[in-house]
Amino acid sequence: MLGLMMDRREAKEFEYLLKKEMEELLFDLQDDRLDKIVKSAIEERYQVLFNLFARLAEPAECARFCRRKKSQ
């Protein structure tokens, strides 16, 4: 396990960067031209970033970025 110390300003900047990256990944996931393998890799990356984001952000902000599992 790794630890990270940051002040409030740095945490807000980190939260902002995570939000922007997750928005970009969500946009990419909507692209029908992408292969399933690529979308799977994007989804994995999104989950990692969302888990980091959930540690910093308010629950209301987290709800905005929650993804539903697609039933198959």
Number of C-beta neighbours around residue 57 at 10 A: 19
Cα separations in angstroms, 63 against 3, 24, 37, 55: 25, 17, 26, 13
Distance CA 62, CA 26 (A): 14
Domain ranges, ordered by start, for the chain: 10-63
Output the six-digit token pair for 38: 């690529």
pTM, to two decimals? 0.85
Q: For 28-54, how does the pLDDT look when each residue is reduced to its tens digit (9 = 90+)?
A: 999 999 999 999 999 999 999 999 999
Mean pLDDT computed over 43-66: 93
